[in-house]
């Protein structure tokens, strides 16, 4: 991490006015970023070591993050999409002593009962000298229970930053568009640390991130057309929305793009190929918080459709009894309050590695469905097939212990009209067509169609947009087929 900070200081001396970060309302040159971070560090109360960050996506968050890592603090990102109860749990669990926040987030920050300080009040000050000791505690919502803290340090984050910069061929000519919340570690690395390392710049789309946090899909096409960046990171849901927008308007993605990573879930192969046809250079990847966000990644000159690419150089990725196992410098120090982790991490994900070293992910080991006939089905496999149809926005497959599988579907914006008119047998026919390449026992024979709003109302999604599988299965069992309205 020292290398990143020193690179920023050298560039600030040579090109003090060079833009590094901007958002919809503000911008920071390299000198201004160092000045803002220095002022924040000097305004911290004496003895404060663990700080939370609760801010809108933008230069405020970036300045607070730079201050935290350069002054050797323990930084705890506070996801704005978590509930107040979850945020309070994080603050207590991680022993956060002070929350740095943007003006709009101050009431939410104050609700935790911890002292707050507005980031923008920091005055100009000279850069601080780099201090060792930086740590970051990442919380993921999971599907049930309280969030669990993942302990990462300068070693993991610094290594991952270099590895991602090299894999994506990032350079000083790059401009990155940030749409995902900066509370996500991958976004912090790609939008803040990689640009600082290579001398590039990043623009934070405040409005897009705000819409995403609210559980909706922003206009990705509009955001990319306005910023015309070279790179970005998306989840499959946003990639699908972008492809639908471009298809509906007959437009193509900006020619400036050279690298768009997609992760956080399975991206249907048909969606990825449609994106490439529209000028979106998509590179699928795979990772998890316990391994500093990225384990494998397709990249320029090393991409295989349907896979998540080869492992990052320096990581040893293997398959043990069907489970993906990772060994190397990006593996976490451990869970907060738990034992130290060794450097071999059993991910809990099922996968396979082909003869060329490309990884394919099949789904979560603990999500595996076993039908009444003893057939094993990874639900993510079938869900990916279903999501290849642009009319389907969300889906979940369940049926553990049942004679057949059931698909819970939510229409996409493009599929709302079709689903409003379709009868049950037409929906089942659509499911059958999507799953044409799967064995009959893995093809859902029943379905439930709900609106996205109804799914949210029923509490079937986590705060970061993933299905709560147990709750979804319980909902269906309670309703049973004959009680579910015809679609």
Per-residue pLDDT tens listing for the chain (487 residues): 999 999 999 998 888 889 999 999 999 999 999 999 999 999 999 999 999 999 989 999 999 999 999 999 999 999 887 778 888 999 999 999 999 998 888 888 888 889 999 898 666 788 889 999 999 999 976 544 577 899 999 999 999 999 999 999 999 999 999 999 999 999 999 999 999 999 999 999 988 777 776 666 678 999 999 999 999 999 888 898 899 999 999 999 999 999 999 988 788 888 999 999 999 999 999 999 999 999 999 999 999 999 999 999 999 999 999 999 999 999 999 999 999 998 899 999 999 999 999 999 988 888 889 887 778 898 998 999 999 898 998 899 998 888 899 999 999 988 999 999 999 999 999 999 999 988 888 999 999 999 988 888 888 887 666 788 888 888 777 765 444 444 3
Q: Taking the CA of residue 49 as centre, how many other CA atoms within 13 Å lie in the half-sphere pointing to its CB? A: 9
CB 345 within 8 A of CB 329: no
**Which residues, 6 or more positions from 253, have their beta carbon under 8 angstroms from its beta carbon?**
221, 224, 242, 246, 278, 279, 280
CB 325 within 8 A of CB 348: no
DSSP annotation of 299 reads B
CB atoms within 10 A of CB 90: 24
CB 257 within 8 A of CB 227: no
Distance CA 146, CA 86 (A): 7
Rg (CA), the chain: 23
Picking from 87, 90, 94, 75, the residue whose alpha carbon sits closest to that of residue 111 is 87
- For the chain, what's the residue count? 487
Distance CA 441, CA 387 (A): 19
* pLDDT of res. 115: 93
Distance CA 62, CA 258 (A): 24
* pLDDT of res. 215: 60
CB 338 within 8 A of CB 353: no
Torsion from C-alpha of 144, 147, 148, 150, nearest 10 degrees:
130
Tell the burial category of 413 from Cβ atoms under 10 Å away from its Cβ (0-12, 13-18, 19+). Answer: middle
**Which residues, 6 or more positions from 92, have their beta carbon under 8 angstroms from its beta carbon?**
none
Distance CA 145, CA 59 (A): 32
CB 232 within 8 A of CB 179: yes
The C-alpha angle with vertex 418 and arms to 385 and 239, in degrees rounded to 5, equals: 45
DSSP annotation of 114 reads S
What is the 3 state secondary structure string of 182-212?
A: CCCHHHHHHHHHHHHHHCCEEEECHHHHHHH
* pLDDT of res. 75: 98
Torsion from C-alpha of 122, 123, 126, 129, nearest 10 degrees:
-10
Place of tokens 């069907």: 322
Torsion from C-alpha of 275, 204, 117, 64, nearest 10 degrees:
90
In the beta sheet, which residues pair with residue 299?
Answer: 302
Distance CA 204, CA 219 (A): 14
Structure tokens that stand for 3 in this block: 């290398």
Q: Which SS3 state, helix, strand or coil, does residue 323 take?
A: strand
Q: Taking the CA of residue 266 as centre, how many other CA atoms within 13 Å lie in the half-sphere pointing to its CB? A: 28
**Which residues, 6 or more positions from 319, have their beta carbon under 8 angstroms from its beta carbon?**
325, 351, 352, 353
Structure tokens that stand for 458 in this block: 């029923």
Domains in the chain, CATH or no CATH each: 2-361 (3.40.50.12780), 368-483 (3.30.300.30)
In the beta sheet, which residues pair with residue 117?
Answer: 100
Torsion 108-110-113-118 (CA) sign: positive
Place of tokens 């494998």: 296
Continuous H helices in 309-451? 379-386, 416-421, 424-434
* pLDDT of res. 482: 47
What single string gives the DSSP state of each residue in 324-338?
Answer: EEEESTTS-SEETTS
């Amino acid at each position: 991490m020292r290398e990143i900070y020193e690179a920023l200081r050298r560039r600030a001396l040579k090109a003090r006015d060079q833009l590094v970060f901007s958002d919809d309302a503000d911008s920071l040159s390299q000198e201004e970023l160092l000045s803002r971070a220095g002022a924040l560090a000097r305004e911290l109360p004496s003895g404060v070591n663990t700080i939370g960050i609760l801010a809108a996506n933008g230069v405020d968050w970036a300045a607070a993050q730079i201050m935290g890592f350069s002054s050797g603090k323990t930084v705890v990102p506070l996801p704005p999409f978590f509930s107040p109860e979850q945020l309070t749990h994080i603050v207590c669990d991680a022993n956060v002593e002070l929350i740095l926040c943007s003006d709009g987030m101050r009431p939410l920050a104050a609700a935790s009962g911890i002292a707050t300080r507005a980031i923008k009040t920091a005055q100009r000050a000279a850069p601080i000298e780099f201090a060792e000791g930086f740590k970051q505690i990442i919380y993921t919502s999971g599907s049930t229970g309280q969030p669990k803290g993942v302990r990462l340090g300068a070693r993991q984050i610094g290594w991952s930053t270099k590895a991602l910069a090299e894999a994506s061929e990032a350079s000083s000519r790059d401009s990155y568009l940030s749409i995902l919340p900066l509370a996500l570690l991958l976004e912090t690395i790609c939008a803040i640390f990689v640009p600082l390392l290579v001398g590039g710049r990043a623009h934070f789309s405040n409005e897009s991130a705000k819409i995403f946090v609210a559980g909706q899909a922003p206009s990705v096409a509009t955001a990319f057309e306005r910023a015309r960046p070279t790179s970005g990171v998306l989840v499959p849901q946003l990639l699908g929305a972008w492809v639908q927008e471009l298809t509906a308007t007959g437009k193509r993605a900006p020619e400036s793009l050279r690298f768009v990573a997609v992760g956080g879930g399975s991206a249907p192969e048909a969606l990825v190929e449609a994106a490439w046809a529209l000028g979106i250079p998509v590179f699928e990847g795979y990772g998890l918080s316990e391994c500093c966000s990225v384990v494998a990644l397709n990249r320029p000159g090393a991409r295989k459709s349907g896979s998540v690419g080869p492992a990052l150089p320096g990581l040893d990725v293997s398959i043990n009894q069907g489970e993906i196992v990772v060994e190397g410098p990006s593996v976490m120090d451990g869970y907060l309050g738990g034992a130290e982790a060794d450097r071999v991490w059993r991910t809990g994900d099922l996968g396979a590695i082909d003869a060329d070293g490309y990884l394919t992910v099949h789904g979560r080991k603990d999500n595996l469905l076993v039908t009444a006939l003893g057939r094993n089905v990874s639900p993510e496999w079938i869900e990916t097939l279903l999501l290849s149809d642009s009319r389907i926005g969300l889906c979940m497959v369940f049926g553990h212990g049942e004679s057949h599988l059931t698909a819970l579907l939510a229409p996409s914006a493009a599929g709302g009209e079709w689903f409003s008119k379709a009868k049950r047998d037409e929906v089942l026919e659509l499911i059958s067509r999507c799953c044409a390449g799967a064995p009959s026992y893995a093809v859902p024979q029943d379905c439930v169609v709900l609106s996205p709003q109804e799914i949210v109302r029923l509490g079937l999604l986590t705060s970061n947009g993933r299905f709560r599988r147990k709750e979804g299965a319980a909902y269906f069992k309670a309703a049973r087929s004959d009680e579910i309205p015809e679609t």
